[in-house]
Structure 1
Amino acid sequence: MRKLLLLLCFILSHWGIVNAQDKKTIRSEQNPFSEARFTYFKETIVLFNEYLDTKNGSFNTTNFRILKPIGNRAWTIRFDAPLISTNSNTINKSGLGDLSLATSFIPYLTKKSGIATRLKITSNSANNPNFGSGKWVISPAVFYGTYIDTNKKLLLISDLEYQFSFAGSKNRADIRTTVLESTLVYSFAKNWISSNVAFRYNETRQGFQNSAFVEFGRKLTPDSLFYIHPSVAFGGQKSYNYGIELGVVILY
């Protein structure tokens, strides 16, 4: 954790002097962080529904997300508002989950590769203990994206994130989780196919809560996109069995 925090502090402290190229010119062209599912430079609304099957029943999340670039668009603000519902043999409930706010910053960017950082704070705001962690959580992360072919059809995005709680209910377990994730995206015509694997180590439970998914997406109009991805969890402490997510992305 200490190494990751030091890396983030270093990147943020040097944001004003990196990449002397014309940022507006670069960002108006194709680059790793302007792809369909990694939009940093346009106002974006994402609405998705994720269904997860767990050993104790099902868990459904309908999430509203809005992204707003600011300044010279090296910075982005993101807000998430999830609506949670659970379904088990004994209880069915719905309510608001934990709201979160994140800011992203891109200190380095070319037409082929880029580095981004993100700092997310998740609040203890769920109106039912089953719909949230019961903790305030801060999650620093660093991302690296690069095209791995000359035609810019194949994109690799990798990130390292550390999630840790700093306040909240004393009756809930602390959160200490390291996430290493990679996504490979192949774009063709108005479509894309991607694969993702995420390795998560939960220090509190002392076990892995990994997951993987395959995603299929299509651009419906120049400013609207649809995607679907089934997922599966694996690891000794996995938090669910399998899931499916459907989403719509709107650029405005």
Structure 2
Amino acid sequence: MKKNIITIGLILMYAASFAAVANEVDNGTDPTKFSTTAAVQWERLNLLDDKSSEVLNLTYWQPLGAQKHSNIRVRLPVLRITGMNENHYAVGDFSLKYTRLLKLTPEYGVVAAGEMDFDTAERDELGTGKTVFKGSLIYAQFLKNGDIFAPSVVQSNSLWGQSHRASVNNTVFDFYYVPKFKNPKWFMTLDPAISLDWETKKQFASLAVTLGRSTGPAFGGNSQVFIKPTVFAGGERPGTWGVEVGYKVLGF
């Protein structure tokens, strides 16, 4: 009798564990997972010279293929720069990004992406004045405690555009880290980064911390809200701090 009770108990524990894993939804923090996603994000950056930028980003991700090993992301920014003669909101540089999962094992994943930022800004200060290509590579390590460490490098170069505007040539090294919480409704990402501008010979560091919470089913998927403060360091930094808030729906 005692042996049967123990057996039943083990079966129930296994079933509960399996159900917990099955109910754990994708929160978008794993760079090797792609799902249909739509997001509305508002960001304010405190720039130097008593200026600031406010950006409303409208973003959509669409996985490709049955295995979902790649996706396409489109983003339309609507923004303004305060302290300028014209400070009303207008369209910035539209971007199109293709991401591909190159390799995935239980220990690590490799992801590559190519992005085009098109010169669509309605005013000079709202964009680079160039069509820019960004190439990136991510190496994601899945740690034994469930955390993710995914350093990446992003290289941006202008291809063509307005001749009177400066060329774009910069590199960003990002050290993305995702701690795993016991409560799957909460999530966090840590993004320390180093930015090198080869055109202006400037460099600076930044740290962004995202804290979010899943808010349940919505629009046929799973919704979440998040806040993302950022601080900048270094004498050549473009600003001092920023904060972003957003609402996202995944897996619809």
TM-score with structure 2 setting the length: 0.82
- Cα RMSD over matched residues? 1.8
State the Cα distance separating 1:158 from its structure 2 match.
1.2
Retained in 2: the 8 A contact 1:207–1:235? Answer: no
Quote the Cα distance in structure 2 between the aligned partners of 1:142 and 1:117.
Answer: 5
| Letter matched to residue 163 of structure 1 | S
Deviates more, 1:117-126 or 1:209-218: 209-218
* Equivalent residues in 2 for 1:45-64, closer than 5 Å: 45-56=38-49, 57-64=51-58
Shift of 1:91: 4.3
Measured in 2, the distance between the counterparts of 1:226 and 1:212 equals 20
Aligned 8 A contact 2:64 2:70 in 1 = yes
Please point out which of 74, 78, 83 is paired with 2:78: 83
Contact 1:161–1:180 at 8 Å: present in 2 too? yes
- State the match for 1:105 in structure 2: 100
Shift of 1:144: 1.1
Aligned-pair identity in percent equals 23
| Larger Rg over CA atoms | 2
Q: Residues of 2 paired with 1:116 and 1:243: CA distance?
A: 28
Q: Equivalent residue for 1:133?
A: 128
The amino acid that maps onto 1:45 is A
> 1:205-220 to 2 correspondence within 5 Å?
205-220=200-215
Q: CA deviation at 1:90?
A: 4.9
1: CA distance, partners of 2:165 / 2:234: 22
1:8-64 superposed Cα distances (whole Å, 9 cap, x missing partner)? xxxxxxxxxxxxxxxxxxxxx89xxx5533464210112111100112311011001
Matched, 1:37 2:67: no
2:185 paired with 1:181: no
Size of the aligned set, in residue pairs, is 219
2:150 equivalent to 1:157: yes
Cα deviation 1:118-146 (Å, max 9, x = unaligned): 00000001011111010110011101112
C-alpha distance in 2, partners of 1:110/1:225? 28
Following superposition, the deviation at residue 187 of structure 1 comes to 2.7
Tell me, yes or no, if the aligned pair for 1:124 and 1:133 is still in contact at 8 Å: yes
Secondary structure of the 1:130 match is helix
The answer (yes or no) to whether the contact 2:27–2:214 under 8 Å persists in 1 is no
Give the whole-Å Cα distance in 1 for the aligned partners of 2:87 and 2:148. 41
- Which residue does 1:148 correspond to in 2? 143
Q: How far apart, in 2, do the equivalents of 1:247 and 1:236 lie?
A: 30
Contact 1:138 1:163 in 2 (8 A): yes
Structure 2 matches for 1:195-234, cutoff 5 A?
195-221=190-216, 223-234=222-233
Query: Shift in Å at residue 235 of structure 1?
Result: 2.4
Q: CA contact under 8 A between 1:185 and 1:194: conserved in structure 2?
A: yes
Deviation at 1:209, TM superposition (A): 3.2
- Tell me the distance in 1 between the aligned counterparts of 2:96 and 2:241: 27
Q: CA deviation at 1:110?
A: 2.2
Shift of 1:195: 1.6
> Partner of 2:121: helix, strand, or coil?
coil
Amino acid at match of 1:156: F
Partner of 2:60: 66
In 2, Cα distance between equivalents of 1:90 and 1:51: 19
- Is the Cα contact below 8 Å between 1:205 and 1:237 reproduced in 2? no
2:245 paired residue number: 246
